[in-house]
Amino acid sequence: MQILVTIPDDPAAPVTAVRINGTPTPPVVTDWRAETGFPKIKQVDGNQYLLFEPLNPDWKSSPTDRVFGGSGPSGPFLKDPSNGDATHSRRSPAGYPLHYGISGDGSVFEGMPPRIFYDGQTFASDAEVEDYKARTAVKP
């Protein structure tokens, strides 16, 4: 087997081109928002989810998700962490899962704005998530 790797001039730049036995491999996606191939099962924060669109890799799941979705790549998986549907966005502008209020008939309650789900809690905005991350960061 012959593997050829194109090394960028800048040592900090990611390798984006690889050829195995003369066949180019798909390019490495360096921007998580550009990822394609959904729906697909993907491991995020130690858990497997059936995702319907890209998810910010910095997202933290609920601690209870580790109980139900923490197995390996071929094991069980959890549904997408958002309850958004075809007419309601699944992600916040920063790429975190959105949760909508559900009415008695199971449809999204239109009178309530969605909440952002992060680390087992909900937040009103991405700015609140960033504030939470800053306040809970482990200090060296």
Q: pLDDT tens, 33-85? A: 999 999 998 888 888 888 999 999 999 998 888 766 556 565 778 889 999 88
Average pLDDT, the chain: 81
Distances in Å between the Cα of 123 and the Cα atoms of 62, 77, 120, 131 are 13, 25, 10, 10
Q: Say whether both 24 and 37 belong to one domain.
A: no
Q: Say whether both 95 and 116 belong to one domain.
A: yes
Domain range for 80 is 32-136
How many other CB atoms are found less than 10 A from the CB of residue 116? 24
* This prediction's pTM: 0.72
Q: Say whether both 127 and 70 belong to one domain.
A: yes
Q: Say whether both 91 and 117 belong to one domain.
A: yes
Average pLDDT value for residue range 123-129: 96
Quick check: 139 and 132 in contact, CB under 8 A?
no
Q: Say whether both 109 and 68 belong to one domain.
A: yes
- CA 46 to CA 131: how far, in whole Å? 23
How many other CB atoms are found less than 10 A from the CB of residue 118? 25
